[in-house]
Amino acid sequence: MELAELKLVAASNLIKLRTGAGMTQAELGAALNYSDKSISKWERGEAIPDAYVLLQIAQLFGVTVDYLLSAHDGWEGEERAQAPEKSYSAGVIIAIAVVGVWTAALTGFVTLWLFDIIWWRIFIVALPVSLLTYLVLICAFHRKKHLPLVIGAFVLSVFIMVYFLLPMENPWQLFLMAVPAEVIVFLSCHIRRRPKGLRRKK
């Protein structure tokens, strides 16, 4: 197979996998740490990702590198792939879910208020719940661009909730544990998997 043909085959397979997953070029680029312009270039068959990026793409979509480089149903082209598709609006779904959490918290607050119970801490509980909801959904929709920040905010919100809900003599000391927790989150989000067979040069 010539290089030009290989580029078209890889482009066609990449388009099918990306659109099948409901991802935009920008979302795929963010997942691979590349710009949407690079994704567009690959999908037009003007270039082909290097071996490491092909491995990343294969792992992301649950296929093999051989699948990406093998012809299946022929070349479809970027223009055809960009035809109107029936897909869910991930942003709207995420927004509805997060707003739903805060609406539930507000409903609970007002209901308790009607019985002369003012329990504002319900909003403190809603904070980590809404962040956890947001975290789960951005992972489900492959929107992981700001994932480390969201995880860090969630961990911090849990400490804030415990600070306000649990009676402690010196509750501020609780935040001393938040510092190493945030460091662990930061370092964990920067772990990169090395392709099998690659060894460091001595």
Residues 17 and 65 occupy one common structural domain: yes
What local confidence, expressed as pLDDT, does residue 1 receive? 58
Domain count, the chain: 2
**Is residue 72 classed exposed, middle or buried when 0-12, 13-18 and 19+ CB atoms within 10 A define those classes?**
exposed
Which of the residues in the chain have pLDDT under 70? 1, 73-88, 168-172, 189-202
Q: Which helix (H) or strand (E) covers residue 163, if one does?
A: helix 147-165
Of 81, 112, 144, the position where a domain reaches its end is 81
C-alpha distance across the termini of the chain, in Å:
35
Residues 117 and 172 occupy one common structural domain: yes
Dihedral sign for Cα 149, 154, 160, 163, please: negative
User: What CATH number should be reported for the domain holding residue 48?
Assistant: 1.10.260.40
What local confidence, expressed as pLDDT, does residue 90 receive? 79
What local confidence, expressed as pLDDT, does residue 128 receive? 93
What local confidence, expressed as pLDDT, does residue 125 receive? 93
CA distances from 71 to 10, 39, 51, 175, 183 (A): 8, 19, 18, 55, 45
What local confidence, expressed as pLDDT, does residue 46 receive? 87
Q: How far apart are CA 72 and CA 50, in angstroms?
A: 21
Residues 42 and 123 occupy one common structural domain: no
The pTM for the full model equals 0.52
What local confidence, expressed as pLDDT, does residue 196 receive? 46
Closest CA to 147 of 53, 27, 54: 27
What the block records as the tokens of 190 is 């920067």
Residues 69 and 99 occupy one common structural domain: no
pLDDT in tens, 119-169: 999 999 999 999 999 988 888 877 777 788 888 889 889 888 888 887 766
Collapsing DSSP to helix, strand or coil, 100 comes out as helix
